Homo-oligomer: A and B are copies of this chain.
Amino acid sequence: MIDQHVVAAEPLRHASPEDTRERILAAAREVIAKKGKRGATTREIADVAGVNEATLFRHFGNKGALIIAVVQHFCGFVELRSVTSQLNGAIEDDLFVIGKTMMDRMESQSDMIRWSLVEADYEQDLFAETAWRPQIAILELVTEFLQARIDAGKLRGDATQLALIFMGLIFTHVMTRKKFSHFDWLADDEAAIRRYVDVFLNGVRSK
C-alpha cells in the first residue's frame, strides 16, 4: 500500500502559518474524500499535508473542529452574479448556462455531497447543511428563473418542482458518472447538459 501524494516533501518552516493551515485543510479534504470522516486519521492528514501531526492540533484543536473548518472553507458562497450576467433570454441557452454552473459546482464538491448523503448525522447536521448550501442557492436561482417563464406562459408547472427536477438531472449525472463510466457519452459534460435541457423542455415524445 504505497501512497503517493502531490505535495512537496521538503519540511516547510519557511511557510507562513496561514499557508500551513491551508495545506492542512486541503489535505484533510483529500483524505476525507477518500476515507470518510471516520476513516480519515489525523496522522494521514498531517502526512499528506507534509506537516507534523502536532501542528495539525496546534492549528485546529481537535479533529472535529478541523472537519468543520474544512467544510466551511470549501463551501463558500456562490457567486451568482457571474451566472445571471451570462443569460441572454433564450431558454435553451440560459438553462444550459445554469446547468453548466450547477454541474461545475457539484463536481467540485461532489465528495462532500456524497458524504453528506451517507451521514444521517446524529451530531453534526452542520456538515450536510454547509455542503448543500451552494446547491440550494443555485436551486433558488433556477426556481426564480423558471417562475418568471411560467408567469410569462412559456413554461408550465410548479417552479420549485421543476427546479428540483432540473437539478436532479445534473445531480444524477455527477453522482453516477463513475458508476456508469462505460456509457462514454456521459464523459462529454456539455453535450449531456444540452441533452438534459432538451428533454427537460421538450420531453421525449415524437412530434
Taking Cβ atoms with an 8 Å cutoff, the residues of A that contact B are 33-36, 38-39, 114-120, 122, 128, 132, 146, 153-158, 160-162, 164-165, 167-169, 171-173, 175-176, 178-180, 183, 185-186, 195-196, 199-206
Q: Contact partner of A199 among B167, B176, B203, CB < 8 A?
A: B203
Given contacts A161-B195, A168-B176, A201-B204, 20 further A-B contacts (CB under 8 A): A35-B120, A36-B119, A114-B117, A115-B118, A117-B117, A117-B179, A119-B178, A132-B179, A153-B206, A154-B206, A155-B204, A164-B176, A164-B186, A165-B169, A165-B195, A165-B199, A168-B171, A175-B175, A200-B204, A202-B203
Q: Contact partner of A205 among B36, B132, B156, B158, CB < 8 A?
A: B156
Interface of A is mostly: helix
Copies of this chain per assembly: 2
* Cβ distance A155 to chain B, nearest Cβ, rounded Å: 5
Contact in complex: B196, A201 (CB < 8 Å): no
Q: How long is the Cα–Cα vector from A164 to B177 in the complex, in angstroms?
A: 11
Q: Which residues of B contact A128 (CB under 8 A)?
A: 179
Q: How long is the Cα–Cα vector from A151 to B105 in the complex, in angstroms?
A: 37
Q: How long is the Cα–Cα vector from A115 to B36 in the complex, in angstroms?
A: 10
